[in-house]
């Protein structure tokens, strides 16, 4: 892969170039990051949140920083405590993976299932046409959307009737594989079968850990950057689990709706307050349910920004949304003056508390929804003048990939959040 962890495959020439650049004094550098720890290894997080918001994180320390932003570790933990937590989590992941391997020996084998493993009753499928990927040529074929012939099959244990949970889990394995071979296929990192199988294993184990959600398309988009950033598979898994705790409801499905539709309803409310004219136009052309923003919200702008810029956007949003987790950290902030009161919190969270967002309808909406509104506002003129139907809205949004600055989108989202809280608070008095 060379020195660039995000290097593209030589044959990928149509990917949008990233706007993210390391900027001295703005991007969180390794030097500034390590200087923010005291002698016990406790992190003075307020010293780095602003830096992340201003210029993102240097890729060389991104994995370490994300563990704090996502809540894998609290800033008050010592280095010794984090070592113990990490060791415990790695052991727990090893046990989970061992359970999965006991149900299907493809787990941890370095191969990937892209064809059904079992029938609905749990009995093994006899033949695996295009099923397991065993070499670089096969990977390239799947990444390009086709297979050629029958791939070798791993040895299958004698059929033993499994319970419903195990059967459902095994039924999901091939869908995970189909998504994995198409996820971020432009990256040189995923030209390696080892790296692809790492991503497949993480998603398969999570599917077993959280059977209520199982696996849904889009989850691989969140997991892929972590498989790339973390050398240890277990560390990537637990970071992915933290991301899923934030977006999990988007993937919940009932007979009536997919979870993300609730978010789209909130998005409609936000735009109706912030830009009634644009909302009215979208509603008049049949877009009042905002289904055209489904993908945008479901995978947090993975298609609207380049791979690198999406990571940049995520870490900026997470730094803005950061809130202390432990009671000690929260209580420590409440005895200060108004300015000091929000120390250790992201600016978005500070605004939520300042304006009493919990008492305002949709006030606690995630920053990502305000980021979506910001993107609509950036395209406002075109949306009003050039769209007469949903197909045109979708085409316009598909055309913005690589054309929107993630930092500007994040800054605009923060302003829109403040504007929304102030406007609704005045209206409800």
Out of 123-137, 145-159, 308-322, 340-354, least confident range: 145-159
Our count of domains for the chain comes to 3
H or E segment at 339? Answer: helix 338-341
Domain assignment present for 53: yes
Domain assignment present for 322: yes
Instruction: Tell whether the model's pLDDT for residue 128 goes beyond 60.
Output: no
Q: Verify that 108 and 185 share a domain, yes or no.
A: yes
Q: Verify that 242 and 155 share a domain, yes or no.
A: yes
Final residue in a domain of this structure, among 251, 274, 298: 251
Domain assignment present for 5: no
User: What is the arithmetic mean of pLDDT over 97-115?
Assistant: 96
Alpha-carbon separation of residue 338 from 327, 351, 358, 418 (angstroms) = 19, 12, 18, 17
- Indicate the burial class of 114 (C-beta count within 10 angstroms; 0-12, 13-18, 19 or more): buried
Question: Which of the four pLDDT bands, split at 50, 70 and 90, describes residue 285?
Answer: very high
Per DSSP, 24 falls in state T
Q: What is the pLDDT of residue 158?
A: 55
Q: Verify that 224 and 267 share a domain, yes or no.
A: no
How many whole angstroms separate alpha carbon 356 and alpha carbon 347? Answer: 14
Mean pLDDT of the chain: 88
Out of 76-90, 154-168, 202-216, 261-275, least confident range: 154-168
Instruction: Tell whether the model's pLDDT for residue 150 goes beyond 60.
Output: no
Cβ atoms of residues 203 and 220 within 8 Å: yes
Instruction: Tell whether the model's pLDDT for residue 337 goes beyond 50.
Output: no
Q: Verify that 116 and 237 share a domain, yes or no.
A: yes
Q: Verify that 122 and 46 share a domain, yes or no.
A: no
Q: Verify that 327 and 355 share a domain, yes or no.
A: yes
Question: Which of the four pLDDT bands, split at 50, 70 and 90, describes residue 327?
Answer: very low
How many whole angstroms separate alpha carbon 9 and alpha carbon 353? Answer: 45
Domain assignment present for 11: no
Q: What is the pLDDT of residue 263?
A: 94
Cβ atoms of residues 180 and 219 within 8 Å: no
**CA quadruple 211, 216, 220, 226: dihedral positive or negative?**
negative
Q: Which domain holds residue 402?
A: 260-428
Q: What is the pLDDT of residue 159?
A: 55
Final residue in a domain of this structure, among 200, 225, 251: 251
Domain assignment present for 100: yes
User: What is the arithmetic mean of pLDDT over 272-289?
Assistant: 96
Question: Which of the four pLDDT bands, split at 50, 70 and 90, describes residue 161?
Answer: low
Domain assignment present for 1: no
Q: Verify that 291 and 417 share a domain, yes or no.
A: yes
Q: Verify that 267 and 156 share a domain, yes or no.
A: no
Alpha-carbon separation of residue 375 from 133, 290, 383, 387, 396 (angstroms) = 39, 14, 11, 16, 11
Q: Verify that 233 and 370 share a domain, yes or no.
A: no
How many whole angstroms separate alpha carbon 86 and alpha carbon 80? Answer: 10
Q: What is the pLDDT of residue 160?
A: 60
User: What is the arithmetic mean of pLDDT over 266-292?
Assistant: 96
Domain assignment present for 13: no
Out of 18-27, 119-128, 227-236, least confident range: 119-128
- Least Cα distance to 398 among 305, 261, 314 occurs for 305
Q: What angle do CA 379, 381, 385 make, to 5 degrees?
A: 120
Q: What is the pLDDT of residue 149?
A: 31
Q: Verify that 314 and 246 share a domain, yes or no.
A: no
pLDDT, tens digit, 9 for 90 and up, residues 189-246: 999 999 999 999 999 999 999 999 999 999 999 999 999 999 999 999 999 999 999 9
How many whole angstroms separate alpha carbon 26 and alpha carbon 21? Answer: 10
Cβ atoms of residues 63 and 234 within 8 Å: no
Q: Verify that 227 and 307 share a domain, yes or no.
A: no
Domain assignment present for 241: yes
Q: Verify that 306 and 217 share a domain, yes or no.
A: no
């Amino acid at each position: 892969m060379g020195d660039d962890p995000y290097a593209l495959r030589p044959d990928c020439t149509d990917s949008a170039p990233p706007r993210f650049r390391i900027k001295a004094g703005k991007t969180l550098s390794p030097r500034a990051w390590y200087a923010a720890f005291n002698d016990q290894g406790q992190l003075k997080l307020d010293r780095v949140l602003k830096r992340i918001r201003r210029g993102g994180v240097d890729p060389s320390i991104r994995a370490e920083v994300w563990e704090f932003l996502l809540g894998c570790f609290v800033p008050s933990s010592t280095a010794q405590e984090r070592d113990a937590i990490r060791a415990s989590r790695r052991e727990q992941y090893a046990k989970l993976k061992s359970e999965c391997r006991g149900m299907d020996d493809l787990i941890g084998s370095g191969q990937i299932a892209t064809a059904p493993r079992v029938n609905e009753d749990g009995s093994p499928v006899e033949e695996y046409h295009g099923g397991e990927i065993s070499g670089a040529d096969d990977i390239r074929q799947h990444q390009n959307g086709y297979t050629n012939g029958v791939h070798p099959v791993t040895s299958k244990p004698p059929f033993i009737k499994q319970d419903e949970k195990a059967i459902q889990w095994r039924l999901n394995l091939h869908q995970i594989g189909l998504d994995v071979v198409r996820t971020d296929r432009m990256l040189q990192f995923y030209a390696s079968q080892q790296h692809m199988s790492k991503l497949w294993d993480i998603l398969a184990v999570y599917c077993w850990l959280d059977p209520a959600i199982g696996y849904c398309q889009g989850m691989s988009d969140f997991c892929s950057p972590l498989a790339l950033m973390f050398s240890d598979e277990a560390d990537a898994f637990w970071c992915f689990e933290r991301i899923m705790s934030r977006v999990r409801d988007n993937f919940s499905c009932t007979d009536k709706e997919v979870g993300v539709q609730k978010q789209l309803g909130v998005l409609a409310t936000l735009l109706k307050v912030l830009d009634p004219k644009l909302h009215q136009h979208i509603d008049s052309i049949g877009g009042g349910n905002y289904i055209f923003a489904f993908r945008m919200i479901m995978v947090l702008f993975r298609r609207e920004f380049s791979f690198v810029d999406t990571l940049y956007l995520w870490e900026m949003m997470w730094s803005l949304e950061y809130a202390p987790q432990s009671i000690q950290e929260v209580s420590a902030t409440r005895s200060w003056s108004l300015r000091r009161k929000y120390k250790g919190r992201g600016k978005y969270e500070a605004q939520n508390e300042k304006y009493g967002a919990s008492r305002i309808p949709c006030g606690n909406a995630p920053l990502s929804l305000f980021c979506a509104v910001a993107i609509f506002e950036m395209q406002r003129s075109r949306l009003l003048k050039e769209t007469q139907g949903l197909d045109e809205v979708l085409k316009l949004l598909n055309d913005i990939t690589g054309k929107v600055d993630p930092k500007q989108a994040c800054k605009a989202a923060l302003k829109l959040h403040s504007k929304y809280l102030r406007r609704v608070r005045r209206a409800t008095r």
